[in-house]
Amino acid sequence: MFSRLRQAFKQAIGAAMIVSAVAGATGAHAAEQKAIKIGWTAWSDAEAVTNIAKQLLEQRLGYKVELVMTDIGLQYQGVAKKQLDVMLMAWLPNTHKAYWDKLNGELVDLGILYDNAKLGWAVPDYIPASELSSIDDLKKPEVAKKLKSQVQGIDPGAGLMRASEQTLKDYDLAGYDLRTGSDAAMIVALDRAMKHKDWIVVTTWNPHWMFSKYKVRYLEDPKKSLGGAEAIHAIGRKGFDQDFPKAAAFIKNFKIPLSDLEGIMAKAKESSYEKEAAAYIASHPELVASWLKDAQ
């Protein structure tokens, strides 16, 4: 009798273990079937990188991808609160330091996508360097007058704008107005000014396609208020690599040369980021294979 009870008990335990294993597998499969939510901002480099990632995640790894366009600060919060799965535009260690320092306990650094990026203020080349070559020169009354004491910026939540606000303080440019807008608005203002040979200062960064279209130069930044070379990281929410292991493996290997990225951005202005992302993937099979080697 006791042997029969013991045997029944063993069978019940075995059945429970099988059910548990199946439930675990089903749960993992269910997580894999959910759409990966990627936060992004309408910046040229973000569009290029995000489109490459989306196409590979969907076409090569079988995921569904939902792109969520929002302010960079809200992306950090969204990933930290698990409302977003990943973001591909974390400028570290300086530009997004405030966001990272506040939320890094709830974030996972998935690695560097590209490096040697730079922030700065730029002017058209036709502005004489003898009159304006450094941010310090903006204090000259004649320079301020020609610029109407304005610096054309981008979206207010961008790390570049935070750095630019600090730059105004560091260089004692209290009379200047740092105008907010967007990447597109900054380009419109630059294009309009250059057509009329007007003076203008814009906040910008590398990589950006504007450097291949317009003859502009960075102003010197002797106080280093806008920082030095930086790296752009992919940031995931906690648990992302467990819920989407193939996606995480791909993103950790996803590294693109800065020159290649700038080439995609320049071409995309004449076609689209979707088309140029697809063309880059098709023309770089060995590089793509290295990104996906741990995700199969």
Residues 221-278: tens digit of each pLDDT: 999 999 888 999 999 999 999 999 999 999 999 999 988 998 999 899 889 999 999 9
Decide if pLDDT at 25 tops 50. Answer: no
pLDDT of residue 31 exceeding 60: no
Distance from C-alpha of 47 to C-alpha of 236, rounded to nearest angstrom: 18
Return the domain boundaries, the chain. Answer: 34-117+230-292, 118-218
What class is the 34-117+230-292 domain?
alpha beta
Residue 111 confidence (pLDDT) above 50: yes
195 in helix, strand or coil?
helix
Of the candidates 204, 157, 156, 150, which has an alpha carbon nearest to the alpha carbon of residue 177?
150
Matching fold, domains 34-117+230-292 and 118-218:
yes
Residue 114 in this model has a pLDDT that exceeds 60: yes
pLDDT tens digits for 63-107? Answer: 999 999 999 999 999 999 999 999 999 999 988 999 999 999 999
In the predicted model, what is the mean pLDDT of residues 5-17? 43
Instruction: Let me know the angle formed at the C-alpha of 158 by 154 and 159, rounded to the nearest 5 degrees.
Output: 125
Confidence grade of residue 37 (pLDDT, cut at 50, 70, 90): very high
Whether pLDDT at 27 is above 80: no
The pLDDT score that the predictor gives to residue 4 is: 45
End-to-end Cα, the chain, rounded Å: 51
CA angle 230-235-240, nearest 5°? 160
Pairwise CA distance, residues 23 & 258, whole Å: 44
For domain 118-218, say whether CATH 3.40.190.100 is its number. yes
pTM greater than the 0.85 cutoff: no
Tell me, what's the pLDDT at 271? Answer: 93
Q: How many CB atoms lie within 10 A of CB 252?
A: 18
pLDDT at 17: 38
Query: Which of 165-169, 269-273, 278-282 is least confident?
Result: 269-273
Check pLDDT > 90 for residue 209. Answer: no
Q: Considering the chain, what percentage of its residues have pLDDT values greater than 90? A: 76
